[in-house]
Homo-oligomer: A and B are copies of this chain.
């Protein structure tokens, strides 16, 4: 377990979760196109932050008497974007390069304090509510809000004796769930990453819209998705070694002993392992690997999004896994795989591609997906869900 975490931390840039990953410099940077538009995530009526057609982001913050204003979005290693005071008392700055397509977390540093950008909405990441910005992706259509039948996202509150609380989860029910009273549905348990919470997949992840669109195109079987909080032993922000202190047991107890029975008794599910899947991003992938290898009789399909991989040894050391599990899906953003060449000295070896090929050669149904030109961020995971969903519950 500790080795798994160390591997994630060292090789997957897990601790950089939430940091933007710009495209690598392509020699001389091109002229900045002055076609900036407000980000789709801005608060109502707010003109800034803005994004241009190349993926540059421009910030504008009002703080007339401030001494310094910085945005944490920018080229890696350069510490974000320093804003400069304009004549009208606002602070303005543009990233030194284009950002990857998709969603990025960020915040402002004002006079040495950390605050959110009042221009945009907040999203829970890095164990705090962060500012968010969306760089329009060329393939954004697959998670767009369209005039198709929509499923619902329900907040449920379920009793959790193991934690002595009523815990929250969000449940996506597909279009027609309420109309087809006789139908029963498979369930995917889908986990967020470190520092995020149960709101991530249905907000910045657009899991509901991805499913609505896949179902409208008949590319996937309609199924239920359940999203709950995975950092059951709460880690205080800034606590050293927070991730290393993570313990899977409290979350596994909530998931297996409390949430799954609640969902199977309150929704029209197909309550067997052939119709139950688990997947997660980043730390959620680590949780998925740990829980499914220890409980292969409970899950028929497994997905790790930027959160580890399965080697033949992993499968050999998980009695029942090879017989019970019908699919092991592993995905990464292409820029994460690029990091294999620059893994820190002494970091555990990291080659999910080799693991996938060896597992597949052993006769296991292993599927590997690479999200083009994305890093350890949500566009990698939105695409991973789009690729994963059609492979599930093929009776």
Which of A's residues lie within 8 Å of B, judged by CB? 43-46, 61-68, 89, 108, 110-116, 118, 121-122, 127-129, 145-147, 150, 152-159, 166, 171, 178-179, 181, 202, 208, 234, 236-237, 239, 266-268
Is B113 a contact of A116 with CB atoms below 8 Å?
Answer: no
A110 proximity list for chain B (CB < 8 A): 63, 66, 110-111, 113, 115
Is B179 a contact of A266 with CB atoms below 8 Å?
Answer: yes
Is A113 a contact of B62 with CB atoms below 8 Å?
Answer: yes
A202 proximity list for chain B (CB < 8 A): 155
- Cα(A278)–Cα(B63), bound, Å: 42
- A115-B112 contact in complex given A44-B234, A150-B156, A178-B267, C-beta closer than 8 Å: no
A108 proximity list for chain B (CB < 8 A): 115
Of the candidates B67, B145, B237, the one whose C-beta lies within 8 Å of that of A45 is: B237
Is A112 a contact of B63 with CB atoms below 8 Å?
Answer: yes
Q: Could you list 9 examples of A-B contacts with CB < 8 Å? A: A45-B234, A63-B113, A67-B111, A108-B115, A110-B111, A110-B113, A115-B115, A146-B166, A153-B154
The smallest beta-carbon distance between A194 and chain B, in angstroms, is 13
CB-CB nearest in chain B for A178: B266
- Cα(A356)–Cα(B228), bound, Å: 47
CB-CB nearest in chain B for A265: B179
- Cα(A166)–Cα(B144), bound, Å: 11
A43 proximity list for chain B (CB < 8 A): 128-129
- Cα(A153)–Cα(B108), bound, Å: 33
CB-CB nearest in chain B for A115: B115
State how many copies of this chain the complex holds.
2
A46 proximity list for chain B (CB < 8 A): 237
- A157-B150 contact in complex given A63-B112, A113-B63, A178-B267, C-beta closer than 8 Å: yes
Is A152 a contact of B154 with CB atoms below 8 Å?
Answer: yes
A146 proximity list for chain B (CB < 8 A): 166
Is B62 a contact of A114 with CB atoms below 8 Å?
Answer: yes
- Cα(A329)–Cα(B284), bound, Å: 48
Of the candidates B111, B153, B155, the one whose C-beta lies within 8 Å of that of A65 is: B111
CB-CB nearest in chain B for A63: B113
- Cα(A64)–Cα(B236), bound, Å: 22
Of the candidates B61, B114, B179, B267, the one whose C-beta lies within 8 Å of that of A118 is: B114
A158 proximity list for chain B (CB < 8 A): 150
Is A67 a contact of B68 with CB atoms below 8 Å?
Answer: no
- Cα(A239)–Cα(B166), bound, Å: 42
Of the candidates B65, B112, B114, the one whose C-beta lies within 8 Å of that of A112 is: B65
- Cα(A156)–Cα(B152), bound, Å: 5
A239 proximity list for chain B (CB < 8 A): 45
- Cα(A121)–Cα(B197), bound, Å: 14
A159 proximity list for chain B (CB < 8 A): 147
Is B237 a contact of A44 with CB atoms below 8 Å?
Answer: yes
A66 proximity list for chain B (CB < 8 A): 66-67, 110-113
Of the candidates B113, B157, B181, the one whose C-beta lies within 8 Å of that of A64 is: B113
Is A111 a contact of B113 with CB atoms below 8 Å?
Answer: no
